[in-house]
Structure 1
Amino acid sequence: MQRLPLTAPSVRLRLPPPPSGGGSLGSRVRSWVGVLAIATSAPLLLGAADPPAWTRPQAPFPIAGPITYVGSEGIAAYLIKTNAGAILIDGTLAENAGMIERNIAAAGVRPQDVKFILVTHAHFDHAAGVAALKRATGARVAAGARDVRALETGTPPGETSYGVIRFPPVHVDRSVGDHEKVTLGNVTLTARATPGHTPGCTTWTMRIPAQPRPLDVVFPCSVSVAGNRLIGNRAYPGIVADYRRSIAMLGMLHADIVLPSHPELADVIAKGKRRQAGDTTAFVDPTLLPKIVAKAKIAFDADLAKQAR
């Protein structure tokens, strides 16, 4: 999750969207009551707004091979077509679930043909829409083993400077570890454990047949600190070592195409416009992942030093 850190721990309450097909004021009030029941005595942070781009609709566009962008303008979701159905990576915000379902259909895939939803990590901006999309598609959910509890309780792991932002819980059908594979039809994705941002943060990789050579695609899980407590994190005492290992591992991965959960990190939307204009190599940049990782390492070291003072 990308977020400016706040000064005091809090529970940030987000009014749940009405159920699909509408929803009365009474149902929304009852949703609020449910959220308040789990917030109890925690101090509240009201009025904090997500970036508008996070919920701004974005028309789907092809990326490369079987991959299509189906997320919002500000948070990514990727659809991968196979000869046995489709795979979705991430569900973004709960408010975006209907838009993503429509984008999937616009990309030529019936929602019921989505067979897997792969989760990069258990934060609300990437996982809150997964429960609704699982209901809409009947897909199986796969996620990093160390994020399963967070996903199934709707409570993000670890301690942060901005408090707790809960999301709709979702049953995880398959927990994955480092190097485990998810195969559907003619497509295989490999999970790479990249903990730190969350304990189960998972980078997904795949290879696209292409000429003159196959292309390696990496969907990196975030290695940004983004408000994570690095010093004295009682809920996640190994967070610093995990970050360091994950940054080092990502720095050794080869990626011809980088598709992050926050599209601005790789100019995904701008590249999509170039791709639609006929530039079939718009997304190919083998130098991009090392640049992203180098910046992340500098930012991590600076944040760790600041928190240690």
Structure 2
Amino acid sequence: MLKIHTIDLNFLGGNEAIASYLIETEQGPVLVDPGPYSTFENLEKGIESLGFRVIDIENVLITHIHFDHAGAAWKFTKHGATVFVNPIGLPHLKNPQKLWDSAQMIYGDDMNRLWGKMEAIDEEFLVPLSDGQSVEFGDAVFNTIYTPGHAVHHNAYVLDDVIFTGDVAGVKIENGPVVPPCPPPDINIELWKESINKLRKINAKTIYPTHYGAHHNLEEHFNQLEKVLDDWANYMKPMYDDKLTADEITPVFVDYVIKRYKEEGLSEDEIQVYEFANPTFMSVNGLLRYWKLKEQGRI
């Protein structure tokens, strides 16, 4: 039985907002989603606490290229590690400037505090993994499942009866609710549900979303994710139809989600962790764009 370790990256000084997963294999430790560079020191401490060093990580699997998942990947290539990523995301790791500029439009001066720097990765260290492809590290075989919906460049990775789901299986922290991260620009609810069904068919026992940790009651998990995804999108639709701006919608939507969290029994501290992992305001522009593309017949 392969050992899977959850490393808490202590994002923004909190607990259980972003995880990186270290899997011990005969070929050495493999890392899934190294997180943002802003938490690299915490990641390094976590790796060392397990008896390894950063330079022992020769293979890194990226579920998708968002900063909270892939921002620190470049650091591992400095000692020659290989980074595996969806083919659509690969060019953005090779040249992250467009990715950085797009994010800076949202986060502004907070970019460095939240994510740290992101350097280009030489193509020789990047390997594309498409749907159905597998990669083997000694006794560990990771099978790639292409899972768009949250992002067009999203992969999930199956290892035996476990799936590393990135964001496609949503955010669930401890016993809290399952919620969908819906940042722009790639939200496609129909594709997302197709991806969820792909995960259902695997009949895994455990999923490891990046936000956060191992979860086992998968049918209930997936059902709740679909329900909340529809709920958030449908709550947004009348405001979109009324041509309200994102600035007008954001406080209303944030209040709606926070009330839902409180109804689920979350404390203020637990809500804050959810907000670190999945800022509610980010879903406004993502869902507005979804409805716009839907109206235009482009999805």
Q: Which amino acid aligns with 2:19?
A: A
> Which whole-Å CA distance do the structure 2 matches of 1:177 and 1:251 have between them?
19
Pairing 1:182–2:135 present: yes
1:148 matched residue in structure 2: 90
> Which whole-Å CA distance do the structure 1 matches of 2:54 and 2:67 have between them?
22
Number of residue equivalences: 209
Deviation at 1:169, TM superposition (A): 4.1
Pairing 1:67–2:4 present: yes
1:290 matched residue in structure 2: 219
Judge conservation of contact 1:117–1:134 (CA < 8 Å) in 2: no
Deviation at 1:141, TM superposition (A): 0.3
> Which whole-Å CA distance do the structure 2 matches of 1:227 and 1:240 have between them?
10
Deviation at 1:150, TM superposition (A): 3.0
1:107 matched residue in structure 2: 50
> Which whole-Å CA distance do the structure 2 matches of 1:114 and 1:228 have between them?
30
Per-residue CA deviation, residues 168-227 of structure 1 (Å, 9 max, x unaligned), is 1443610111111111111111111111111111111112xxxxxxxx111113234434
Judge conservation of contact 1:97–1:130 (CA < 8 Å) in 2: no
> Which whole-Å CA distance do the structure 1 matches of 2:182 and 2:5 have between them?
31
Deviation at 1:116, TM superposition (A): 0.7
Q: Which amino acid aligns with 1:144?
A: N
> Which whole-Å CA distance do the structure 2 matches of 1:294 and 1:150 have between them?
32
TM-score relative to the length of structure 1: 0.60
Deviation at 1:71, TM superposition (A): 3.2
What is the RMSD computed on CA atoms of the aligned residues?
2.7
Which residue, 165, 171, 193 being the options, matches 2:146? 193
Deviation at 1:301, TM superposition (A): 1.3
Q: Which consecutive unaligned segments of at least 5 residues does structure 1 have?
A: 1-63, 208-215, 269-282
1:219 matched residue in structure 2: 164
Superposition map of 1:271-282 within 5 A: none
| Between structures 1 and 2, the one with greater helix share | 2
Q: Which consecutive unaligned segments of at least 5 residues does structure 2 have?
A: 10-14, 171-179, 239-299
TM-score relative to the length of structure 2: 0.62
Find the residue that maps to 1:145 and give its secondary structure. coil
Which residue, 118, 138, 156 being the options, matches 1:203? 156
Judge conservation of contact 1:80–1:87 (CA < 8 Å) in 2: yes
Q: Which amino acid aligns with 2:32?
A: I
> Which whole-Å CA distance do the structure 1 matches of 2:60 and 2:44 have between them?
12
